[in-house]
Structure 1
Amino acid sequence: MIKLIAVDIDGTLLNDQGQILPATIQAVKQATAAGKKVVLCTGRPLCGVTDYLKQLGLWQQADQYVISYNGSLIQTTNRVTLLSHQLQFNDYLDLLELAHQNKAAFSLLTPDCMYVEPEDVNEIILKEAATVSIELQQQSAAKMETLSDLVPVKGMVLDEPAKLDQLEKVMPAEFKQRFTVLRSQIDHLEFTHPLASKEYALQQLAKRLGIKPAEVMAIGDEKNDLGMLKTVGVGIAMGNAVPELQALADQITTDNNHNGVGEAIAKWQ
């Protein structure tokens, strides 16, 4: 019997209009009422999923959980951090230099804030901050170094796709060992701690809750969900998922515009 259901957000839980379908909300609430844990697993910060947690009846609870920043953080929905894989300040400086050498805009994210050099602010950064409901602060690297409470979790190069293509070509090989590097969108290149991944965080949360891998279901649509689907008892690809994920999945549900998550929960839990 499935005891934990891990659900990606963009392209999975949300339809193409960025909404959760009423049938999906009903399916999640029925699962949680039956004692199952439904855990949102996302590249977003916690502040970027608050509205969805409220709709699903999961917000502000000590025994409900979110895996955010692609596995960098595990938090309860009342904001207690259970696991945190952080970057170091020197990581920020090196990533900032790499981006600037390639004339690309870089931002550093903490659990609650996106920091960006004033000259790096562009439309993609503004859109990202608005999409995930995170505070945007314009700060120089010199000023950032004076912030004693800085908790860097993720670096992002947010710029034109051609610039990201070039940056990936010239990126030092050691960066791919030093960070988890993910091209999450055509104009998003992300850098997190090398241990940060959805699958590792999900494994740690399940272990903490005394849940076996065979008792976990995961639902996703993108390449960053591959590891998560590989390591659970039931891996579900959305009907709109990338071909690599559909090929790997145990089952394929309907797409994100037709209650794919709700149907998967009802059929395979």
Structure 2
Amino acid sequence: MTYLICSDVDGALMVNHTMLTPNTHQTLKQVIAQGHQVYLVSGRMLPLARQAANNIDPAVKVIAADGATYEQGNNLVNAHLTNKQLKTIYQITLSNHCRVYFFETNRIYYTGDKVPYEAAATQAHMNLPAELSTMPLIGPEFLTNLGDHITNAIVYGEPTNLALVRQLLVDLTNLNLTSADHHLEVVPAHIDRATALAAIQRVTGIDRAHTIVFGSTLDDLGMFKLADHSVAMGNANLALKQAATDVTLANDQDGIAVFLQDFFNLNENRAHG
């Protein structure tokens, strides 16, 4: 029976957001060769998530933008923010001294003077995907043509300002919001990583008994509820570990590889290979 194997990228699969260990890489290639389906799950936009997937194997598929974009067979499924929601996010963000990135499938519209991800890519000695483009957002009137094209947004700012932005968005919208110290992730209502996983399970016919999810943060908790094999990384927070069926080693100790090698008896297969 085919298994559906889903892994968070940052914190579970990758070390320091960029490095995939050779052991984990080899192990994922083995399970793919056995016919299992691997999905990478990330808040990253599609080209960045796809770049990480291609570094493993072209057969790896992605759930990107925290569930607002995902690959299903040869198709791409997107959820979108409306014109009204875009305008509200823009106005609240700027009035509270924050900046915002709006994401299309392959393009980022941004406020402020920093080109998105350029500095981070340089620091990590990485090239951004060729299909990714950026465009400064000059004013709110530009948003008129972007409704039903933008999948998600990220607001950046100081924690106190972000708290104000979050509260106003809660009061004025029904958007799905996820907070961190210096950013706020915004996706359409009733959309998250778990809704994407549930849709993939329905289409593929792979049930929860044959679903394995690796996670490191509470963003992955919803997916854990859809899998009989929910695996928290050794570096995951305590609440996620308590919700997991299994806890493996940390991401920098090949936690995913160790679990999969044991689960699928891969070390035994290597010995007989």
| TM-score using structure 1 length | 0.86
> Residues of 2 paired with 1:257 and 1:244: CA distance?
20
> Residues of 1 paired with 2:160 and 2:171: CA distance?
20
Shift in CA distance, 139/167, structure 1 to aligned 2, threshold 3 Å: closer
> Residues of 1 paired with 2:120 and 2:153: CA distance?
13
Shift in CA distance, 263/2, structure 1 to aligned 2, threshold 3 Å: farther
> Residues of 2 paired with 1:251 and 1:146: CA distance?
46
User: Which sits farther off after the overlay, 130-139 or 212-221?
Assistant: 130-139
1:102-139 deviation digits (Å, cap 9, x = unpaired) = 1111121111111023xx23487655787875422112
1:242-253 aligned at under 5 Å gives the runs 242-253=237-248
Tell me, yes or no, if the aligned pair for 1:217 and 1:235 is still in contact at 8 Å: yes
Shift in CA distance, 74/147, structure 1 to aligned 2, threshold 3 Å: closer
Aligned to 2:187: 192
What is the aligned residue count?
257
Deviation, 1:259, is 0.7
SS for the counterpart of 1:226 is helix
Tell me, yes or no, if the aligned pair for 1:105 and 1:157 is still in contact at 8 Å: yes
Tell me, yes or no, if the aligned pair for 1:105 and 1:122 is still in contact at 8 Å: no
> Residues of 2 paired with 1:107 and 1:196: CA distance?
18
SS for the counterpart of 1:106 is strand
Alignment-mate amino acid for residue 108 of structure 2: M
Alignment-mate amino acid for residue 19 of structure 2: Q
Aligned to 1:108: 102
Alignment-mate amino acid for residue 67 of structure 1: I
Give unmatched runs, 5+ long, in structure 2.
265-273
Shift in CA distance, 204/20, structure 1 to aligned 2, threshold 3 Å: same
Match of 1:75 among 71, 75, 98: 71
Q: Percent identity?
A: 22
> Residues of 2 paired with 1:137 and 1:14: CA distance?
28
Tell me, yes or no, if the aligned pair for 2:153 and 2:187 is still in contact at 8 Å: yes
Give unmatched runs, 5+ long, in structure 1.
none
1:182-212 deviation digits (Å, cap 9, x = unpaired) = 11x3212011111211111111101101111
SS for the counterpart of 2:109 is strand
> Residues of 2 paired with 1:77 and 1:156: CA distance?
28
Tell me, yes or no, if the aligned pair for 1:125 and 1:158 is still in contact at 8 Å: no
Shift in CA distance, 44/172, structure 1 to aligned 2, threshold 3 Å: closer
1:110-259 aligned at under 5 Å gives the runs 110-117=104-111, 120-122=112-114, 127=119, 133=129, 134-140=132-138, 141-146=140-145, 151-175=149-173, 178-183=174-179, 185-259=180-254
Tell me, yes or no, if the aligned pair for 2:10 and 2:17 is still in contact at 8 Å: no
Deviation, 1:147, is 5.6
Alignment-mate amino acid for residue 185 of structure 2: E
> Residues of 1 paired with 2:114 and 2:161: CA distance?
14
Deviation, 1:268, is 3.2
Aligned to 2:268: none
Alignment-mate amino acid for residue 240 of structure 2: L
| TM-score using structure 2 length | 0.85
Shift in CA distance, 169/87, structure 1 to aligned 2, threshold 3 Å: closer
> Residues of 2 paired with 1:146 and 1:167: CA distance?
24
Shift in CA distance, 186/135, structure 1 to aligned 2, threshold 3 Å: farther
1:34-74 deviation digits (Å, cap 9, x = unpaired) = 111011111112210233222211x2x5xx52111111111
